[in-house]
Amino acid sequence: MYFYVILQFPLPQARPDIVSYSAALSGCEKGKQWEKALSLLVEMREQGLPLETIAFSAAISACEGARRWDFAIWLLEEMVLDSAAPNSVTYTSAIGSCARAAQWTWAILLLDEMSWRQLEVGAVALSSAIAACEATAPSATAAPQLLAKLSADGLMASKCWAAAATDALP
Protein backbone atom coordinates (compact mmCIF):
# COMPACT_ATOMS: atom_id res chain seq x y z
CA MET A 1 0.00 0.00 0.00
CA TYR A 2 2.86 2.35 0.85
CA PHE A 3 4.35 2.08 -2.65
CA TYR A 4 0.97 2.66 -4.23
CA VAL A 5 0.69 5.93 -2.32
CA ILE A 6 4.13 6.99 -3.57
CA LEU A 7 3.02 6.43 -7.15
CA GLN A 8 -0.04 8.60 -6.54
CA PHE A 9 2.03 11.55 -5.26
CA PRO A 10 5.22 11.58 -7.32
CA LEU A 11 7.84 14.30 -7.09
CA PRO A 12 7.26 17.12 -9.61
CA GLN A 13 9.84 15.88 -12.12
CA ALA A 14 9.99 12.23 -11.12
CA ARG A 15 8.25 9.65 -13.26
CA PRO A 16 7.54 6.14 -11.94
CA ASP A 17 9.61 3.48 -13.65
CA ILE A 18 9.48 -0.30 -13.81
CA VAL A 19 11.25 -0.61 -10.46
CA SER A 20 8.75 1.59 -8.63
CA TYR A 21 5.79 -0.12 -10.28
CA SER A 22 7.25 -3.54 -9.43
CA ALA A 23 7.62 -2.48 -5.79
CA ALA A 24 4.02 -1.24 -5.76
CA LEU A 25 2.81 -4.50 -7.34
CA SER A 26 4.72 -6.46 -4.74
CA GLY A 27 2.92 -4.48 -2.05
CA CYS A 28 -0.42 -5.24 -3.72
CA GLU A 29 0.51 -8.93 -3.81
CA LYS A 30 1.32 -9.00 -0.10
CA GLY A 31 -1.80 -6.99 0.75
CA LYS A 32 -4.07 -9.03 -1.55
CA GLN A 33 -5.05 -5.81 -3.31
CA TRP A 34 -5.92 -7.38 -6.65
CA GLU A 35 -7.92 -4.40 -7.94
CA LYS A 36 -5.04 -2.01 -7.30
CA ALA A 37 -2.65 -4.46 -8.93
CA LEU A 38 -4.81 -4.48 -12.06
CA SER A 39 -4.98 -0.68 -12.11
CA LEU A 40 -1.19 -0.51 -11.78
CA LEU A 41 -0.80 -2.77 -14.81
CA VAL A 42 -3.11 -0.45 -16.74
CA GLU A 43 -1.05 2.56 -15.62
CA MET A 44 2.15 0.83 -16.70
CA ARG A 45 0.68 0.21 -20.12
CA GLU A 46 -0.48 3.84 -20.36
CA GLN A 47 3.02 5.03 -19.37
CA GLY A 48 4.49 2.93 -22.19
CA LEU A 49 6.33 0.66 -19.78
CA PRO A 50 6.74 -2.99 -20.75
CA LEU A 51 4.60 -5.43 -18.81
CA GLU A 52 7.06 -8.12 -17.89
CA THR A 53 6.66 -11.53 -16.29
CA ILE A 54 7.42 -10.27 -12.79
CA ALA A 55 4.68 -7.60 -12.97
CA PHE A 56 2.09 -10.08 -14.21
CA SER A 57 3.19 -12.65 -11.63
CA ALA A 58 2.76 -10.19 -8.76
CA ALA A 59 -0.71 -9.23 -10.00
CA ILE A 60 -1.70 -12.90 -10.39
CA SER A 61 -0.46 -13.57 -6.85
CA ALA A 62 -2.59 -10.68 -5.59
CA CYS A 63 -5.57 -12.30 -7.31
CA GLU A 64 -4.69 -15.62 -5.68
CA GLY A 65 -4.67 -14.08 -2.22
CA ALA A 66 -8.04 -12.43 -2.87
CA ARG A 67 -9.53 -15.64 -4.31
CA ARG A 68 -10.10 -14.04 -7.72
CA TRP A 69 -9.28 -17.06 -9.85
CA ASP A 70 -11.15 -15.57 -12.82
CA PHE A 71 -8.86 -12.54 -12.96
CA ALA A 72 -5.78 -14.69 -12.38
CA ILE A 73 -6.61 -16.72 -15.48
CA TRP A 74 -7.47 -13.57 -17.44
CA LEU A 75 -4.09 -12.06 -16.51
CA LEU A 76 -2.35 -15.25 -17.59
CA GLU A 77 -4.04 -14.95 -20.99
CA GLU A 78 -3.15 -11.24 -21.18
CA MET A 79 0.43 -12.14 -20.41
CA VAL A 80 0.68 -14.40 -23.43
CA LEU A 81 -0.98 -11.75 -25.63
CA ASP A 82 1.58 -9.18 -24.41
CA SER A 83 4.40 -11.61 -25.27
CA ALA A 84 5.47 -11.90 -21.64
CA ALA A 85 6.63 -15.42 -20.87
CA PRO A 86 4.69 -17.08 -18.03
CA ASN A 87 6.92 -19.15 -15.77
CA SER A 88 6.36 -21.83 -13.13
CA VAL A 89 5.77 -19.22 -10.43
CA THR A 90 3.09 -17.53 -12.54
CA TYR A 91 1.27 -20.79 -13.22
CA THR A 92 1.59 -21.95 -9.63
CA SER A 93 -0.08 -18.74 -8.41
CA ALA A 94 -2.88 -19.14 -10.97
CA ILE A 95 -3.38 -22.79 -9.94
CA GLY A 96 -3.41 -21.68 -6.29
CA SER A 97 -6.17 -19.20 -7.03
CA CYS A 98 -8.17 -21.97 -8.70
CA ALA A 99 -7.64 -24.23 -5.70
CA ARG A 100 -8.89 -21.57 -3.28
CA ALA A 101 -12.07 -21.30 -5.34
CA ALA A 102 -12.43 -25.09 -5.86
CA GLN A 103 -12.04 -24.66 -9.63
CA TRP A 104 -10.53 -28.09 -10.21
CA THR A 105 -11.07 -28.12 -13.99
CA TRP A 106 -9.04 -24.93 -14.40
CA ALA A 107 -6.35 -26.20 -12.02
CA ILE A 108 -5.88 -29.35 -14.12
CA LEU A 109 -5.98 -27.37 -17.38
CA LEU A 110 -3.27 -25.08 -16.06
CA LEU A 111 -1.14 -28.08 -15.05
CA ASP A 112 -1.53 -29.38 -18.59
CA GLU A 113 -0.53 -26.01 -19.99
CA MET A 114 2.55 -25.96 -17.77
CA SER A 115 3.59 -29.32 -19.20
CA TRP A 116 2.87 -28.16 -22.74
CA ARG A 117 5.10 -25.12 -22.18
CA GLN A 118 7.73 -27.45 -20.71
CA LEU A 119 7.71 -25.67 -17.36
CA GLU A 120 8.58 -27.48 -14.16
CA VAL A 121 5.49 -28.64 -12.32
CA GLY A 122 6.55 -28.26 -8.72
CA ALA A 123 5.25 -29.47 -5.40
CA VAL A 124 3.18 -26.35 -4.71
CA ALA A 125 1.39 -26.52 -8.09
CA LEU A 126 0.59 -30.20 -7.53
CA SER A 127 -0.55 -29.59 -3.95
CA SER A 128 -2.84 -26.81 -5.12
CA ALA A 129 -4.35 -28.96 -7.86
CA ILE A 130 -4.93 -31.79 -5.39
CA ALA A 131 -6.54 -29.33 -2.96
CA ALA A 132 -8.84 -28.11 -5.73
CA CYS A 133 -9.92 -31.70 -6.37
CA GLU A 134 -10.46 -32.42 -2.67
CA ALA A 135 -12.63 -29.31 -2.27
CA THR A 136 -14.85 -30.17 -5.21
CA ALA A 137 -18.12 -32.08 -5.13
CA PRO A 138 -17.59 -33.94 -8.42
CA SER A 139 -14.17 -35.18 -7.32
CA ALA A 140 -15.17 -38.54 -8.76
CA THR A 141 -14.20 -36.89 -12.04
CA ALA A 142 -11.46 -34.57 -10.79
CA ALA A 143 -9.24 -36.96 -8.85
CA PRO A 144 -8.99 -39.64 -11.57
CA GLN A 145 -8.09 -36.92 -14.09
CA LEU A 146 -5.36 -35.67 -11.78
CA LEU A 147 -4.06 -39.20 -11.16
CA ALA A 148 -3.92 -39.76 -14.92
CA LYS A 149 -2.06 -36.46 -15.34
CA LEU A 150 0.47 -37.32 -12.64
CA SER A 151 1.01 -40.73 -14.16
CA ALA A 152 1.35 -39.41 -17.73
CA ASP A 153 3.88 -36.80 -16.62
CA GLY A 154 5.92 -39.36 -14.71
CA LEU A 155 5.17 -37.64 -11.42
CA MET A 156 3.63 -40.71 -9.77
CA ALA A 157 7.09 -41.79 -8.70
CA SER A 158 6.46 -39.91 -5.52
CA LYS A 159 4.34 -42.07 -3.22
CA CYS A 160 3.34 -38.90 -1.39
CA TRP A 161 1.67 -37.42 -4.50
CA ALA A 162 0.02 -40.69 -5.37
CA ALA A 163 -1.39 -41.01 -1.85
CA ALA A 164 -2.61 -37.40 -1.75
CA ALA A 165 -4.28 -37.67 -5.14
CA THR A 166 -5.82 -41.02 -4.19
CA ASP A 167 -7.18 -39.44 -0.98
CA ALA A 168 -9.06 -37.00 -3.20
CA LEU A 169 -11.04 -39.91 -4.64
CA PRO A 170 -14.58 -40.23 -3.28
77-123: pLDDT as tens digits: 999 898 889 999 999 999 999 988 888 889 889 988 998 899 988 88
The Cα–Cα gap between 116 and 59 comes to 23
Query: What one-character DSSP code corresponds to residue 117?
Result: T
Query: What one-character DSSP code corresponds to residue 9?
Result: S
Q: Is 169 exposed, middle or buried (0-12, 13-18, 19+ CB in 10 A)?
A: middle
CB 12 within 8 A of CB 38: no
| Percent of the chain scoring above 70 in pLDDT | 71
Q: What is the pLDDT of residue 157?
A: 43
Q: What is the pLDDT of residue 79?
A: 92
Q: Which of 78, 96, 125 is nearest to 29 (CA)?
A: 96
Asked if pLDDT for residue 147 goes beyond 60, the answer is yes
Residue 157: strand, helix, or coil: helix
Q: Which of 78, 107, 103, 81 is nearest to 92 (CA)?
A: 107
Question: Is the C-alpha dihedral spanning 107, 112, 114, 120 positive or negative?
Answer: positive
Domain boundaries of the chain, sorted by first residue: 1-86, 88-170
- pTM confidence score: 0.76
Mean pLDDT, the chain, rounded, equals 79
Max CA pair span of the chain? 62
Per-residue pLDDT tens for 49-62?
988 898 999 999 99
The Cα–Cα gap between 110 and 73 comes to 9
Q: Which residue has the higher pLDDT, 143 or 166?
A: 143
Asked if pLDDT for residue 137 goes beyond 60, the answer is no
Q: Which residue has the higher pLDDT, 2 or 108?
A: 108
Asked if pLDDT for residue 161 goes beyond 90, the answer is no
Neighbours of 77 (CB within 10 A): 10
Question: How far does Cα 91 stand from its chain's mean position?
Answer: 5
Residue type, 27: G
Q: How confident is the model at residue 22 (pLDDT cuts 50, 70, 90)?
A: confident
Asked if pLDDT for residue 4 goes beyond 60, the answer is no
